[in-house]
Homo-oligomer: A and B are copies of this chain.
Amino acid sequence: MSEASPVNRLLRLLPPQDLQRVWFKLKRITLVPKQVLLEQDAKVGNAFFIESGTVSMLQTMDDGARIEVGLVGPEGFVGIPLLLGEETTAVEGMVQVEGEALQMPAAAFQRLLSELPAFAKLLLRYTGSFHVQVAQTAACNGRHQVEQRLARWLLMTHDRNPGDRFTMTQEFMSTLLGIRRPGVTVAIGALQRAGLVEHSRGAVTVVDRAGLEAASCECYQVVKRRFAWLDPVNAPKS
């Protein structure tokens, strides 16, 4: 890889000389939907800085049910266990929307962490924000209704991807939200009747973003504010 010009927000916030050091160890890869970056209870072999697309962090239950506990896009990275000194991960990382990532082997990642304090500091701060996202999801799952949660999820996905249309089946959304597939049909139907989204076979389009924010629970805003520190300064969405 020649010139250091990442899209990833964390990498862009690095001091230029640190970025050079980090850049040498990165390999650009393609993210394919349903691709598993972090396998549950397995060793973490790489860290991934997302360049485009989104990755879902999932818990798998004993009965095989899965549910999303966090979402990572170009604002973040996958591989928190490496940063915190854990051998394995309890949370699975699966690609949700196709894109690209910059991959770094675990050994190189950990060496750079100890050599570049700014790098470590940045990733730790991201970890804190991500932690809030997971905590808010826990609260949201406990108290809020399906329609609100779906609206929140659409907004989070919208924030992390260009354009307003996402390839996404109801089946997949139902898994991430931890609900029945027909539950998605009903909830998304309600959002569509309200003129907030449009959906067709295997895709959803955000039509009225402000309306969608009003339809979602406060959890969206709470988490967004926590991530505001790494937003591009002059690039609000739409």
A81–B128 contact, CB under 8 A? yes
A115 sits at the interface (CB 8 A): no
Q: Which of A11-19, A22-30, A54-62, A189-197 lies at the interface with chain B? A: A54-62
B131 touching A62 by the CB < 8 A rule? Answer: no
Q: Are B61 and A91 in contact (CB under 8 A)?
A: no
Separation of A137 and B91 alpha carbons in the complex (Å):
12
Contacts of A143 in B (CB 8 A): 61, 65, 67, 178
For residue A233, give the distance in angstroms from its CB to the closest CB of chain B. 19
For residue A187, CB closer than 8 A to chain B, the reply is: no
Which applies to chain A's interface (DSSP): helix, strand, loop or mixed? helix
Query: Are B84 and A139 touching (Cβ within 8 A)?
Result: no
Give the distance in Å from the alpha carbon of A177 to the alpha carbon of B139 in the complex.
10
Q: Quick one: CB contact mask for A175-193 with B, threshold 8 Å, 1 for yes?
A: 0011000000000000000
Contact A84 B127 (CB under 8 A): yes
Question: Across the interface, which residues of B come within 8 angstroms of A136, CB to CB?
Answer: 59, 90
Contact A91 B218 (CB under 8 A): no
Q: Are A85 and B121 closer than 8 Å at their CB atoms?
A: yes
> How far in angstroms is the closest Cβ of chain B from A124?
5
Q: A138-B138, A139-B141, A142-B177 are in contact. List 13 more A-B contacts (CB 8 A).
A: A61-B139, A61-B143, A70-B135, A84-B128, A85-B124, A86-B129, A90-B132, A90-B226, A131-B134, A134-B135, A134-B138, A141-B141, A142-B178
Cβ-closest 8 pairs across A and B = A84-B128, A138-B138, A141-B142, A59-B139, A142-B178, A141-B141, A69-B138, A69-B135
